[in-house]
Amino acid sequence: MPDLSVSLCGIRLDNPVIPASGTFGYGREFAELYDINILGTFSFKGTTLHPRLGNPLPRIAEAPSGMLNAVGLQNPGVEKVIAEELPNLRRIFRKPVMANVSGFSVDEYVETCAKLDACDQVGWLEVNISCPNVHHGGMSFGTDPACAAEITRAVKAATTKPVIMKLSPNVTDIVAIARACADAGADGLSLINTLMGMRIDLRTRRPVLANITGGLSGPAVFPVALRMVYQVARAVDIPVIGMGGISTAADVLEMMMAGAAAVEVGAANLVDPFACKRIIEALPDEMARYGIGALSELGRAR
């Protein structure tokens, strides 16, 4: 039987499949469909210091081989997540969970991460640096190596658990951002977040999304994600989680051959709520097909 287990920042996972933040909520709806403990872990809904209602509707749009979203980080805020969501999660998920954190200033990132770091259910902190930096004219933290490093250092100084920096693909050189985070002490990296895009309604001649632009995800972005993971995995000595358009067991193997230690599955969960379950169940046969005995030994593509 092929060995699906992997290690992520020193924590063992039964398999490398992780539902991505924003596509799996806090696990409750999916737990009604199947035992979510078959997952390696999952990254729960992006959490901010204060509650957020998100962007106005419409904020989801279809696109060829994918979807656009401009949800706007709707979430109940970190205090309610800790008081209500994590106790509910404990009843349905017995493994360490990944806490996804967003913020609009260094202080917000630090305070939110510190609060979640104190929760024993949290195994990793996934820090989304695609948010606007309110102190630098709204530019995303993740588009500037110095800003990315600043967030990394600040969060690491306030926490004890592995910190995984989630990188935006909307940059000229993602390797420079990755190296800045690694040099600043990040324990791992996850990439890619969504690519910016838009759609126009031909009847109204106006953008489909109320926010005008949104993040493109789904199979359309897989080749871009694979290329970026390949580049980053060769530039840093910390684990990389690959994501972006993964929807099959073959995609998982390809992403891991590119250098990923684990993978996240995003938009596929919104198309098929059983997507992660199906991928995990298909992995042994897909590994056998290519003579792969253990995912942990999977070599990087040359």
Catalytic residue at 181? no
List, edge to edge, every strand of the sheet that includes 188-191.
Answer: 17-19, 262-265, 240-243, 188-191, 163-166, 122-128, 97-101
Catalytic residue of the set 9, 113, 119, 131:
131
Catalytic residues: 131
